[in-house]
Amino acid sequence: MIDVQDNKSVTRTVCKEVGGLAREVSADICIVGAGLAGVSAALEAARLGRKVILVDGLPTLGGQAVNSRIGLLCGLFANYPNTSQFTHGIADDILRDLDAEGALHYLRGGLGSVIYDDLALARWIEKAVRAAGITVILGGILRDVTRAGRRICSVDVATRYGDVRIKATGFIDASGDAALVWQAGLPCREPSNGSIYGSHMIVIDGIDVAQQPAREEFVARQKAKAKEYGLERTDGLVFVFPEKEMAFINMTHVETPLEPLAATAKDLAGKEQADAVFKFLKEEYPLAFGKARIRAYGLLGIRQTRWMVGRQQLTADDVRAGTRFADAIARTAWPMELHAKSEGFSWQIFPEDHVHFIPFGSLTPPDVDNLVAAGRCIDADVDALSSVRVLGPCIATGAAAAHTLDLAGEGSVHDIDIAALQGRVRDNLI
């Protein structure tokens, strides 16, 4: 029996200190954004012996790869029938470990993608980050950046438990929206002709794999039934994981504004689109989806919002030509996949022997010496970015960012030996 009187001794009355200072922490490298770009950077930096702090605004690791329920590892491989793997590093570890537990399904043909179990990937990331001894701040919203001349000195992060000031020798912006670059007052780019649409994914269980509709007929019915079901997008995709009798549903198009009130409104509207899609699937294809149930709604998946201005911009012409830059640090063969209209998207698919490269200059803002971008906020024009913002290149640019800061030390990222950097990321280039 618990003595009620004893309970009084385990409480106290507290008040927030007015004007209290933020808690200060320090590291060699601070990474803002814990999606696969940020996680790749953090694990690479930790393996190099660097002290790392990894910050994300969500209360969980994994970014969109986990929390938006993407379900598809894109851009890791050459186009079928070429099976060359273009991105290594933590990609090798993910493929090895998830495959061993039956959490991967390789798509044979087409663009050489891999369907993954989002829950398995989430746990893999959490275990890997913890085992590497990385300091993690979750639910941390970046609200200020301190600069001195050409160097970032610190970033201030607000959490529900109080403010934190992070001091570091080098910084990586893997936020997806160029949050660190933006808060530092550095130039950024945004689409000038309207929103690039995101998707509100759902994961469904209990499908009948054998009854899945053919792609051509499926798209035709979406277009014919769009008004009846209230479908915004009419060329949606279903990624089936047959061994688990589940599917990742990518059939919505949602605007992704950077204004906070509008962003929340669009997020809620996206869930309504997802419900309409699920109703369409169950009623139009009862044999395939009649017994299905929604396992999870993803967070609104964002494709392209804001990205930084680098020393060099990757262009659509570079992508089409497969330009091999002298300072190349990553490669992919993923199509230019532009989601610029509500009803659908445009593809430019490349031949099986195609490969295009990402230059180091697209990762480095010219006006600072200790900041590198990774993931979907590197510098490219709108069309080119649509081909390098997927998970494979995100992993590769994250690794390159970590090695860049390791090579730079207390010096400038603009003065590093590019050949030395390329030697470290050699597996992602050959």
99-112 in b/e form (b: 16+ CB < 10 A) is eeeebbbebeeebb
> pTM for the whole thing?
0.95
**pLDDT-derived band of residue 400, with 50, 70 and 90 as boundaries?**
very high
Whole-number pLDDT of residue 8: 59
**pLDDT tens digits along 353-387:** 999 999 999 999 999 999 999 999 999 999 999 99
Whole-number pLDDT of residue 20: 72
Is residue 121 within 8 Å of residue 103, measured between CB atoms?
yes
Whole-number pLDDT of residue 83: 84
Is residue 40 within 8 Å of residue 398, measured between CB atoms?
yes
Pairing between β-strand 23-32 and β-strand 52-56 as defined by DSSP bridges: parallel
Whole-number pLDDT of residue 179: 97
Whole-number pLDDT of residue 16: 82
Give 384's contacts (C-beta < 8 A, 6+ positions apart): 313, 314, 315, 316, 318, 319, 336
Is residue 388 within 8 Å of residue 398, measured between CB atoms?
no
Q: What does the block give as tokens for 244?
A: 């688990």
Nearest one of 191, 106, 101, 153 to 382, comparing CA atoms: 191
Mean pLDDT of 403-412: 98
**pLDDT tens digits along 184-207:** 999 999 998 778 999 999 999 999
Q: Is 201 helix (H, G, I), strand (E, B) or coil?
A: coil
Whole-number pLDDT of residue 194: 77
**pLDDT tens digits along 263-320:** 999 999 999 999 999 999 999 999 999 999 999 999 999 999 999 999 999 999 999 9
Whole-number pLDDT of residue 391: 97
**pLDDT tens digits along 133-164:** 999 999 999 999 999 999 999 999 999 999 99
Q: Is 87 left (phi over 0), alpha (psi -120 to 50) or beta?
A: beta
Task: State residue 171 phi and psi, 5-degree precision.
Answer: -130, 145
Give 299's contacts (C-beta < 8 A, 6+ positions apart): 58, 64, 67, 68, 69, 267
262 pLDDT above the threshold of 60:
yes
Count of CB atoms within 10 A of residue 263's CB? 15
CA distances (Å), origin 49, targets 7, 46, 397, 400, 403: 46, 5, 19, 16, 11
> Candidates 3.30.1330.10, 3.40.47.10, 3.30.2130.30, 3.50.50.60; correct CATH number of 23-191+305-428?
3.50.50.60
23 pLDDT above the threshold of 60:
yes
Any idea which of 12-16, 106-110, 344-348, 403-407 has the lowest mean pLDDT? 106-110
168-182 in b/e form (b: 16+ CB < 10 A) is bbbbbbbbbbbbbbb
**pLDDT-derived band of residue 5, with 50, 70 and 90 as boundaries?**
low
Q: What is the mean pLDDT of the chain?
A: 95
Domain ranges of the chain: 23-191+305-428, 202-297
Give 303's contacts (C-beta < 8 A, 6+ positions apart): 196, 197, 198, 199, 256, 339, 376, 386, 389
**pLDDT tens digits along 236-246:** 999 999 999 99
Pairing between β-strand 162-173 and β-strand 202-205 as defined by DSSP bridges: unpaired
**pLDDT tens digits along 64-88:** 999 999 999 999 999 988 889 999 9
Q: Determine what percent of the chain is predicted with pLDDT higher than 70.
A: 98
**pLDDT-derived band of residue 119, with 50, 70 and 90 as boundaries?**
very high
Whole-number pLDDT of residue 282: 98
Distance CA 158, CA 140 (A): 5
**Rg of the Cα atoms in the chain:** 22
Distance CA 266, CA 268 (A): 5
CA 292 to chain centre: 28
Whole-number pLDDT of residue 325: 98
Q: Which position has the higher pLDDT, 18 or 116?
A: 116
Whole-number pLDDT of residue 265: 95
Q: Which position has the higher pLDDT, 2 or 132?
A: 132
Whole-number pLDDT of residue 3: 55
Task: State residue 370 phi and psi, 5-degree precision.
Answer: -130, 30
**pLDDT-derived band of residue 217, with 50, 70 and 90 as boundaries?**
very high
Q: Which position has the higher pLDDT, 315 or 2?
A: 315
**pLDDT-derived band of residue 4, with 50, 70 and 90 as boundaries?**
low
**Element housing 219 (H / E):** helix 215-229
HSE at residue 301, side-chain half, CA atoms within 13 A, is 29
